[in-house]
Amino acid sequence: MSDAPSRADVRETYETIGSHFSKTREYAWPEVESFVEDRCRGGVALDVGCGNGRHAELLADCADHVVGLDASRELLAAARDRLAACPATTLLQSDAATLPLADDCADLAVYVATIHHLPRRTDRRDSLDELARVLAPDGRALVSAWSTAHNRFDASADAERGFDTTVDWTLPGGRTVPRFYHIYAPTEFERDVAASDLALELLEISSGNCYAVVRPEGKRP
């Protein structure tokens, strides 16, 4: 790709495909289910990049209040429908790299399959610092990104760096919409997390995604 899109461009993409995309994202991921089951004990839980709300729905079963954030209003509209039966849930249209949330407000967060949509490395790093800022001192988050370990990519999972690419989304009727991705090399993902204000507790590769369990670094509970 010659010119990386802006975060506004990425938001536009999901305004275009959101309704159709949402229908193909019905089920929570098992890796997210087990993180939430193990750690969600009331309090405020965030779903950053909530899409249609499939993971916010999991959090709503165990948190006192869930905040779902997404850049795309189309996806938030789908989330509102899905979460209509979950009263302690709030949706915010927002950007992962500039979170509209107070410091230390969240006991738990999931930031799943979202960071790879941020076009620039500085945006991705900012989003990790923002996550650290809003987590309570004893809060935990699960961060996931699509990785070179996925078998659809030719790149070696051992590469030092990932790469930028576009993956076409085909709408009903055949129109294709290009979607930006930064595909992380696992070591690069680990480096970006380590360089942020988050401390890494656990790193796993599962189903072609990197998963990191993180806590804010240097905050005293």
Partner 1 sequence: MKEDLMDIICCPLDKHDLDLEVDERDDEEVLAGSLVCTECGESYPIEDGIPNLLPPDMREDAPA
Name the site residues for partner 1 (rule: CB under 8 A). 6-8, 11, 44, 65, 67, 71, 73, 76-77, 80, 87, 90-95, 98-103, 105
Of 186, 169, 213, the closest CA to residue 74 belongs to: 169
Question: Among residues 130 and 188, whose Cβ is nearest to partner 1?
Answer: 130
Q: How far is the CB of 174 from partner 1 (least distance, A)?
A: 26
* Residue 125 beta carbon to partner 1: minimum distance, rounded to whole angstroms: 17
Rounded to whole angstroms, how far apart are CA atoms 103 and 120? Answer: 24
Query: Residue 134 Cβ, how far from partner 1 at the closest point, in Å?
Result: 9
Closer to partner 1 by CB, 8 or 85: give it: 8
Could you give the CA distance from residue 170 to residue 214 in angstroms, rounded to a whole number?
Answer: 34
Backbone angles phi, psi at 17, to 5 degrees: -100, -5
Q: Based on CB atoms, which residue is closest to partner 1, 73 or 121?
A: 73
Closest to partner 1 by CB, 12 vs 190, is 12
Looking at the Cβ atoms of 11 and 116, the one nearer to partner 1 is: 11
Neighbours of 5 (CB within 10 A): 19
Nearest residue to 135 via CA among 107, 170, 93, 113: 107
Smallest distance from the beta carbon of 91 to partner 1, in angstroms? 5
Phi, psi angles (nearest 5°) of residue 179 = -120, 130
What is the number of alpha carbons within 13 Å of residue 10 lying toward its C-beta?
25
In contact, 126 and 97? CB cutoff 8 Å: yes
Q: Give min distance, CB of 90 to partner 1, in A.
A: 5
